[in-house]
Amino acid sequence: MIWRWFKVVAFGVVCPLGYFIRLIQDAQSRHRARYESRAARGITLLREWLSQQQKAQFDHLCYFEVRGSDSGKTYRIQHGVSANVIELDCDGRPKMGWCFVPVGNLVPGDVMLAQKIALETDERTALAVARQFIVPPLPSRLPTTS
């Protein structure tokens, strides 16, 4: 009850608390809409650079695989902005994780495109700046429910 009558000084003007909260919520909504628009454009650009096989993987599994330019190793780039590059062994199982991102506040599609281009054109340099991380092994079989 008391909050209804509470007044807040904002921008040198006394205004009701509800009005001030609405201003903040409106600003958050505009920020979220701009981010979602940037994210959609990032994914659109990424898809333009993917091969047909990579597009199918990405659409179905939310990741795609690339071949390293120097070693010929296979890397899985998962949807995300960090810790999303996984080196695969010869059987397609996760072996090692790599974390490298371009400079700047980029959306996932732009980051994944930069990672794809880096691995396919200059793998050695990309991995030189990357941080390794251990990838948990996949379960040998699915758990059973009793």
- pLDDT tens track for 10-42: 455 556 777 778 878 888 888 887 878 889 999
Is residue 97 a contact partner of residue 78, using CB atoms and an 8 Å limit? no
CA distances from 62 to 57, 78, 122, 139 (A): 7, 6, 24, 20
Sign of CA dihedral 109, 128, 130, 60: positive
Rg (CA), the chain: 22
Three-class SS state of 132: strand
pLDDT (tens place) for every residue of the chain, 146 residues total: 444 444 544 455 556 777 778 878 888 888 887 878 889 999 999 999 999 999 999 999 999 999 999 999 999 999 999 999 999 999 999 999 999 999 998 999 999 999 999 999 999 999 999 999 999 876 655 555 55
* pTM of the full structure: 0.75
Could you state, in order of their start, the residue ranges of all structural domains in the chain?
A: 34-133
Distance CA 115, CA 129 (A): 12
- Which pLDDT score, from 0 to 100, does residue 74 have? 97
Is residue 6 a contact partner of residue 17, using CB atoms and an 8 Å limit? yes
